[in-house]
Amino acid sequence: ESLDAIYASPLKRAQQTAAPLAARSDVEIITSAGVAEWDQNSSEYVPVEELKAANDPRWQALLNGEWASDESEEDFRERTMSAIESIVAGHGGQRVAVVCHGGVINGYLSEILKLREFARGFFYPNYTSIHRVAAASSGERSIITINETSHLRGTGLPMGLFQNG
């Protein structure tokens, strides 16, 4: 599928994910601070799987519903929703990729599904998974797919919690 634009969070993990897509699509990456994860100002990034495996206190804090960010949940939601909707508004009729993070994905999709109370995590977005949303000029948003990982088949990379490509 061809892409008209690729946006990515400024966080290293998103930029690294976007790079091969940009190279294949011959499209420059546009960095958008608006789609950075809630932990963007952390001094380190530890994948949630590692926190869980180590029974790290930060894992327990997540399970207990604690919000470990210098940004309030409402400010995070407003920032990310505004950024995504701005991208949509600037690319009417075009196909755009937004390379971001699980918190951003959960927040945006939960808003579309009207599950705002589950914005922190109603599902687990697999690394590099694809979530397709059709955006009508009327403002209506339709989820086409969630958590696609078929592009990872044959790569040996994790396709989800229980399988490798």
pLDDT at 119 (0 to 100): 63
Domain assignment present for 49: yes
At residue 162, the pLDDT reads 60
Flag whether 165 is in a domain.
Answer: no
* Domain tally, the chain: 1
Q: Over the stretch 82-120, which tens digit does the pLDDT of each residue have? A: 999 999 999 999 999 999 999 999 999 999 999 877 666
Indicate whether 158 belongs to any domain: no
Selection from 41, 40, 21 nearest residue 30 by Cα: 21
Residue 162 lies in a domain: no
* Residue 160 is assigned to a structural domain of this protein: no
pLDDT given at position 66: 76
Q: Let me know if residue 163 belongs to a domain.
A: no
Q: What is the pLDDT of residues 26-61, one digit of tens each?
A: 999 999 999 999 888 787 788 777 888 888 888 888
pTM over 0.85? The answer is yes
Q: What are the CA-CA distances from residue 132 to residues 9, 40, 55, 92, 143 (Å)?
A: 18, 24, 33, 15, 6
Tokens (6 digits) for 128: 């590099």
Which stretches does DSSP call E strand in the chain? 5-8, 29-31, 96-99, 130-135, 141-148
Q: How much is the average pLDDT of 60-69? A: 78
- Domain containing 30 — which CATH number? 3.40.50.1240
> Which residues constitute the domain of residue 19?
5-152
Q: How far apart are CA 71 and CA 39, in angstroms?
A: 9
